[in-house]
Amino acid sequence: MSEKKVRVAILGATGAVGTELIALLQERQFPVASLKLLASPRSAGRKISFGGESLTVEPVEEKSFQGIDLVLASAGGSTSKKWAEVAVKAGAVTIDNSSAFRMDPDVPLIVPEINPEAASQHQGIIANPNCTTILMGMAVYPLHRIQPIDRIIVATYQSASGAGARAMEEVKIQSRAILEGKEPQAEILPYPLAFNLFPHNSPLGENGYCQEEMKMVNETRKIFNAPQLRVSATCIRVPVLRAHSEAINLEFNAPFPVQKAREILSATPGVRLVEDWQKNYFPMPIEASGQDDVFVGRIRQDISHPNCLELWLSGDQIRKGAALNAIQIAELLVEKNCLKPQRIAVSV
Ligand code: A2P
C-alpha cells in the first residue's frame, strides 16, 4: 500500500509554537517525508532533534520553500506577509498562525471541529485562528449548532505564551526578581506581568477595543459563518505561563437547559467537561497546560437572564490554541487530498 508523505517546513521553528509543532508532528505521526526548520538569522545553525535526527535551523530565504509541500508558519504577522506568497509561488500550501491573512475572504479560517469543509476552498494559504477564538469556539460552537446564539460576552485571562517564548521566560525572570526583592524588568511585554495583570496590549481601535478583542469578534463570526453574531470581549493578560482561561456568557434565542449543555459538551471531541460542584473544582490553566482538550466547566444558568448561560474554560494556548489546531488542519489537507498532488512524494 502506498502512503502519501509530505515535505514540511516550519517557519518560526525556534519559537514557543514552532517547538510544539515539531513535537506534534512526531506525536501524531504526521506523514513527514522531510522537515526543514526555518527561523531568523539569529537561530541559524541551532540543532533541534526530530525523529532521532539532529536537524539544523536555517535562516529563511527566497529558496527555502523550493520542494516543500506544506509550510507551518508561526513567526509573526510581518514575517508571514513577507514569506507566505513566496511559499505559495513555490507550490507549497501555508498554514499560517499569524493574523496576517485571517480576515482575507479568499483565505479559509479553520477550526477543524467547527468548519472542516473550508479546507478544500484554499488558494494556497489557510489561516489558523487566534488562540482565544479557537478555545472559545470549541466550547461554544457545539451549543450554537443545536440552538443559535445571539450574543457572546467574554472576558479572557491570557497566559504569557501568547506573546511567545521570550515573554514566558520574562515572566519567570520577573518572578525571581520580585521574590529576591528586586525591581522586575519588562522588555517583551509592556509591563511586568509577574504578580500582576493588565489589559491586552495589542493596539487600541477607535471603538475602545484592542485588536485581540476584535479578533474574537470578527474571527468567531467568520468561523461560525454567522456574520450577525454579536460578540463583546475583554482580553486580559495574566501571570500564567501557557494556558488561557475565559469566562463566557452566552445569550441564546430561547432558554437553553444547563443539563443539555453539559450533555452536549461532555460528548464533544476535543472538549473535556471538568466540574465537581461539591469540591468547587473547575478548569484551571495549570491542569489544561500540555493537554489537547479544552477544559470546560462551571456551566450555570445566568440568574440575570432566562436565555443566558455562563461557562468557564481553560485551554492550552500553545497546543489547541495554536500548534495542535494547525496540525489538525494539516491532517485535514492530507485526508482530503488538498495539498498539490504533484508535489506529494509517494513512498511504497
Ligand atoms: P528566532 O528564534 O530566530 O528569533 P515566539 O512566538 O515564541 O516569539 O517565536 C517566534 C519565532 O519566529 C521564532 O522561531 C523566531 O526565530 C521566528 N522569527 C521571528 N522573526 C523572524 C524573521 N524576521 N524571520 C524568520 N523568523 C523569524
Residues 127-157 pLDDT 10s: 999 999 999 999 999 999 999 999 999 999 9
Q: Are residues 298 and 236 located together in one domain of the fold?
A: yes
How much is the pLDDT for 91? Answer: 95
Q: Give the Å distance between the CA of 162 and the centre of ligand 1.
A: 14
Quick one: pLDDT band at residue 43, thresholds 50, 70, 90? very high
Amino acid 188: pLDDT: 97
What is the pLDDT, as a whole number, of residue 344? 39
Do 283 and 179 share a structural domain? yes
Pair 329, 284 in one domain: no
> DSSP character for 311?
E
302 — pLDDT class (breaks 50, 70, 90): very high
Q: What is the CATH number of the domain that holds 74?
A: 3.40.50.720
pLDDT over threshold 90, residue 342: no
Percent of the chain with pLDDT over 70: 97
Q: Is residue 114 part of a domain?
A: no
Residue 167 shares a structural domain with residue 310 = yes
Residue 121 lies in a domain: no
Per-residue pLDDT tens digits for 8-24 = 999 999 999 999 999 99
Do 140 and 38 sit in the same domain of this protein?
no
Taking the CA atoms of 222, 227, 228 and 233 in sequence, report the sign of the dihedral they define. positive
296 DSSP β-pair partners: 273, 313
Answer whether residue 242 shows pLDDT above 80. yes
- Mean pLDDT, rounded, of the chain: 96
Q: Which of 2-11, 58-67, 317-326 has the lowest mean pLDDT?
A: 2-11
Q: Looking at residue 262, what is its pLDDT?
A: 98
Interval 49-61 mean pLDDT: 97
Catalytic residues: 131, 244
318, amino acid identity:
I
State the Cα–Cα distance between residues 70 and 291, nearest whole angstrom.
25
CB 311 within 8 A of CB 282: no
Give tens-digit pLDDT for 152-181: 999 999 999 999 999 999 999 999 999 999
What confidence tens digit (pLDDT) does each residue in 305-329 have? 999 999 999 999 999 999 999 999 9
Question: Is the confidence at residue 268, as pLDDT, over 70?
Answer: yes
Q: Which residue has the higher pLDDT, 4 or 88?
A: 88
Are residues 166 and 313 located together in one domain of the fold? yes
Task: Determine the average pLDDT of the residues in 96-125.
Answer: 97
Strand duo 294-301 + 243-252: pairing: unpaired
Q: Are 305 and 153 in contact (CB under 8 A)?
A: no
Closest ligand 1 atom to residue 14 Cα is 14
**One domain for residues 212 and 246:** yes
Asked if residue 74 belongs to a domain, the reply is yes
Q: What is the mean pLDDT of residues 292-315?
A: 98
Query: Tell me, what's the pLDDT at 3?
Result: 64
> Does the residue 105 lie in any domain?
no
* Cβ of 14 below 6 Å from ligand 1: yes
- Is there a single domain that holds both residue 83 and residue 224? no
Pocket test for ligand 1, best of 14, 81, 82, 171 (most atoms within 8 A of CB): 14
Q: Which domain holds residue 36?
A: 6-100+322-335
**Domain match, 292 and 328 both:** no
299 and 284 assigned to the same domain: yes
User: All 3 cell numbers of residue 110?
Assistant: 479553520
My answer on whether 218 and 278 are in the same domain is yes
The answer to the question of residue 124 being in a domain is no
What are 212-216's contacts with CB under 8 Å, separation 24+? 212/130, 212/132, 212/156, 212/158, 215/99, 215/102, 215/129, 215/130, 215/132, 215/133, 216/130, 216/132, 216/133, 216/136, 216/154, 216/156
Task: Please check whether residue 167 lies inside any domain of the structure.
Answer: yes
Ligand 1 and 317: CB distance under 6 A? no
What's the pLDDT at 4? 81
- Are 38 and 140 in a shared domain? no
Ligand 1 touching residue 39 (CB < 6 A): yes
Q: Whose CA is nearest to atom 21 of ligand 1?
A: 40
CATH number at residue 287: 3.30.360.10
> How far is 205 from 202, CA to CA, in rounded Å?
9
- Over 90: is that where the pLDDT of 84 sits? yes
* Residue 345 is assigned to a structural domain of this protein: no
On whether residue 194 sits in a domain, the answer given is: yes
pLDDT for the residue 72: 98
Average pLDDT over residues 27-40: 98
| pLDDT over 50 at 348, yes or no | no
pTM exceeds 0.85, yes or no: yes
Compute the distance between CA of residue 291 and CA of residue 289 in angstroms, rounded to an integer.
5
Q: How many domains are there within the chain? A: 2
